[in-house]
Structure 1
Amino acid sequence: MAADLAAVEKLVHDAYEPWVEVVGMRPLPMEADYGVLIAAGRVHVTDPLDGLVVLVPEDGVLLVENVAVSPERQGRGVGRRLLAFAEEEARRLGLPALRLYTNAKMASNIALYESLGYVVTGRQGIEGRSAVLMRKELTR
């Protein structure tokens, strides 16, 4: 578990480090307790470990809490595959929708989510950051 935890934490750090300057602080996924998330079965990784998604079932929706892809693999469809996995997981759990939030300054991420059918549902301040809230309704 310790080796897995270290690898997950490194992946998240490497994926989000370029955003620190853009956002003006560490993005929220860099602050998460991955030991707790792994133990809870929330972290789903690719094999080999070049990406991960953190999924949290909620009442009527699956929260996509984090999508992280190693810098070397970004732009190669890993994130899209992880989001497709999230949709499959929501369907498996009988949840009709997914939701996520991302920093308002992460325009490329917002554009990706919109291209995959997510719609902006609002904005919210989260721990000193400006978040864009997004949702995707699943078709049966």
Structure 2
Amino acid sequence: MNEPRRARPEEAAALRDLVRAAYAEWVPTVGREPMPMTDDYAARIAADQAWVVEEAGRLVGALILEDTKDGLLLDNIAVAPEARGRGLGGALMAFTEAEARRRGHARVWLYTNEMMTTNIARYLRLGFTETHREEQAGFRRVFMERRLSPPGQPLP
């Protein structure tokens, strides 16, 4: 499996297409396109927030990571449907935690739609805890965090 790398400006359309394919299954559940499907990936790349995994010349995984005062925000994690079940999502999460530590953050946080119950369960299994729920932009969101310990230290 290839390591995540920064997305390049010419990959904005491919990144958008990857995310749209990854989130398409959620449209019937949510009742409309989830926010990641409508994000501006050229702007994300320009802001140095987009990471991708490429296999055989195709993007198969993506992360949108934002530095915030509250920790590293995992704004989006996406795996192409054809690349699922091979551990790519777990590798992307491990990369996110390592990147958070590298940037000096003690916390990774995220939010997901409360109707995406399988995602919520997955994040709980990965050691995230729910912090709160609120409505934003017409979406009911579940906010979660994972506290990080320094390298070599047990989690707090």
Q: Classify the TM-score, shorter chain.
A: over 0.9
- Structure whose residues are more often helix by fraction: 1
Residue segments in structure 2 that go unaligned for 5+ positions in a row: 1-7, 151-156
Partner of residue 92, structure 1? 102
CA shift in 2, pair 1:60/1:129, >3 Å: closer
* 1:56 corresponds to 2:56: no
- Percent identical pairs in the alignment equals 42
Give the letter for the 1:38 counterpart: I
1:23-62 CA distances to partner (integer Å, 9 max, x unpaired)?
1111010121101000111001012220001000011400
Q: How does 1:1-140 map to 2 (within 5 A)?
A: 3-48=10-55, 49-140=59-150
Residue segments in structure 1 that go unaligned for 5+ positions in a row: none
TM-score (norm 1): 0.96
Tell me the distance in 2 between the aligned counterparts of 1:76 and 1:106: 21
Q: Secondary structure at the match of 2:104?
A: coil
Give the letter for the 1:14 counterpart: A
1:50-96 CA distances to partner (integer Å, 9 max, x unpaired)?
00010000114000000011011123211111111110110001100
TM-score (norm 2): 0.86
Max Rg structure:
2
Aligned residues: 140
Q: Which moved more, 1:86-95 or 1:41-50?
A: 41-50
